[in-house]
Structure 1
Amino acid sequence: MAIYTCVLLDVDNTLLDFDAAERQALTDMLAEYELPHDGQAYDVYHKVNRELWDALAKGKLNKAKLFQTRFQRFMQAMELPDNGKCHAMNDRYEELLATHADLIPGALNALEELGEVATLATVSNGALAVQQARIRDSGVERYMDGIYISEKVGAAKPSAKLFEHVLKDLGISNRSRVLMVGDDLLADIKGGQNAGLDTCWVNFKNEENTTDIHPKYEVHSYEELYKIVMEPEELENIGVRNRRHSNEA
């Protein structure tokens, strides 16, 4: 039996390459509206969007407000006149984003390996329609025992309420065998800690942790994650299919 018999996984920049999807969807949308869509525009938008999502995680605004204001703030930051189309721009951006199910290399193989020894579920704060489409189209869905999106559950990371719902729905009571895995220290790691779970920071970009949030583990590859989740004898069987695992965590 694995060290962790249930692995909860963030979606964006943990399994799916959100940065690539964001850049392409933003570029295409801005081009449609005949607005600047170069590297500077992307950097400005990325900064504005990151600040808003961090504010959401801190409980300073809700998702509806985030979607309502982010392109207004983008236009202001770019010193562009208000064109009265910021709401429509956001809707079009979300539509385009939903079409980009870019996988991080090795993600599906990692899910196949982890799914041999543990119950798997995604836990995401992303927009419901966008995440459902991307999780489905990427192939991630078929490896999951549960897919949990904050908009549908009614609670967002890092709130413990989201994780309480997930564990109850999966029928898991032993939290010591549950691992929360994600790239966002504030949403994923702090959220897992708020729910009393062990946490693993996916740091594929080798970034410095400048926060006061300290995960139990840090990995730079999926292979490193195997060593945290699996017992030694399971590591020896990497690549072997149809191994049995217990859903009781």
Structure 2
Amino acid sequence: MKYKNLLFDVDDTLLDFQDAQKIALKFLFESMDIPYNEETEKMYNTMNQSRWRQFEQGILTSEQVVNGRFGIFFNQLGIEVDSVEMERNYRQYLKEGIKPVENSLELVNSLSKQANLYIVTNGIAETQSYRLQKSGLIPYFKDVFISEELNAQKPSINFFNTVFSRIPYFNKEETAIIGDSLTSDIQGGINAGIDTIWYNPKRKEVKDPVMPTYDIAHLNEIYDL
């Protein structure tokens, strides 16, 4: 292991966010007598991903993203709801989603003996902190950096500058970020001048002008870097 500092994304890198989201949406939709199926899932994902892209670009705050999205979604179905209340209900279901990605718990346990591990995640602090604690991941990390608490988000250089300032004896050449998102994790690492490890289990082709330093299909491949 040539890196002394490893920055880990959370959702769909260490914890299976897609699984957590499906379960949470299913409960929420059923409470509104709306079927959770391929059509409604796609409709929600299209809207939600668009709003998070605007967050990454600094157009929306995380609060605007989450507190406005269900009002927009249900409006598309012709239903008027209290968007903030819907978000609150959704998060009660979502925060219980702590299914690990692959063998992530064993991985960070082992890697923590070889390098300093840090969490770098975009999201709501209360939800992410709860999931990290309940999953058992927290003991293996030196520090946790959540966008809502830093008032900056990946891929912003401001997010990474804050992270770097809190890592003892920080050296960019000894640091890498691991994540599944080209637009936030990999682009953020490039913006910050550190190596990037793209967790790419579906073996997607890089179509964007965002080239990761490494492209891995399994988390265990980190050991060989």
TM-score range, shorter chain: over 0.9
Alignment map for 1:74-153 (pairs within 5 Å): 74-76=73-75, 79-153=76-150
Structure 1 SS opposite 2:79: coil
Counterpart code for 1:18: F
Match of residue 70 from structure 1? 69
Cα deviation for residue 216 of structure 1 reads: 0.8
Match of residue 199 from structure 1? 196
Whole-angstrom CA distance in 2 between matches of 1:80 and 1:221? 39
Query: Pick from 164, 168, 193: which aligns with 2:161?
Result: 164
Match of residue 28 from structure 1? 27
Match of residue 213 from structure 2? 216
Structure 2 CA distance for partners of 1:132 and 1:110, relative to 1, 3 Å: same
Whole-angstrom CA distance in 2 between matches of 1:136 and 1:209? 33
Cα deviation for residue 7 of structure 1 reads: 0.2
Which sits farther off after the overlay, 164-173 or 101-110?
A: 164-173
Whole-angstrom CA distance in 2 between matches of 1:90 and 1:173? 38
Whole-angstrom CA distance in 2 between matches of 1:204 and 1:72? 33
Match of residue 189 from structure 1? 186
Whole-angstrom CA distance in 1 between matches of 2:82 and 2:30? 14
Runs of 4+ in 1 over 6 A off after TM superposition: none
Structure 2 SS opposite 1:109: helix
| Unpaired runs of at least 5, structure 1 | 229-249
Structure 2 SS opposite 1:66: helix
Counterpart code for 2:68: T
Whole-angstrom CA distance in 1 between matches of 2:179 and 2:102? 16
Whole-angstrom CA distance in 2 between matches of 1:212 and 1:72? 34
Contact residue 177 and residue 195 of structure 2 kept, 8 A? yes
TM-score of the superposition, structure 1-length normalised?
0.86
Alignment map for 1:22-61 (pairs within 5 Å): 22-61=21-60
Whole-angstrom CA distance in 2 between matches of 1:12 and 1:84? 27
Structure 1 SS opposite 2:166: helix
Please give the per-residue CA displacement for 1:48-77, whole angstroms capped at 9, x wherever unaligned: 11111112111221112111321133224x
Structure 2 CA distance for partners of 1:165 and 1:120, relative to 1, 3 Å: same
Counterpart code for 1:187: S
Contact residue 71 and residue 80 of structure 2 kept, 8 A? no
Whole-angstrom CA distance in 2 between matches of 1:199 and 1:139? 25
TM-score of the superposition, structure 2-length normalised?
0.95
Cα deviation for residue 179 of structure 1 reads: 0.4
| Unpaired runs of at least 5, structure 2 | none
Whole-angstrom CA distance in 2 between matches of 1:41 and 1:140? 32
Number of equivalenced pairs: 225
Contact residue 27 and residue 42 of structure 1 kept, 8 A? no
Contact residue 199 and residue 215 of structure 2 kept, 8 A? yes
Cα deviation for residue 86 of structure 1 reads: 2.3
Cα deviation for residue 87 of structure 1 reads: 2.2
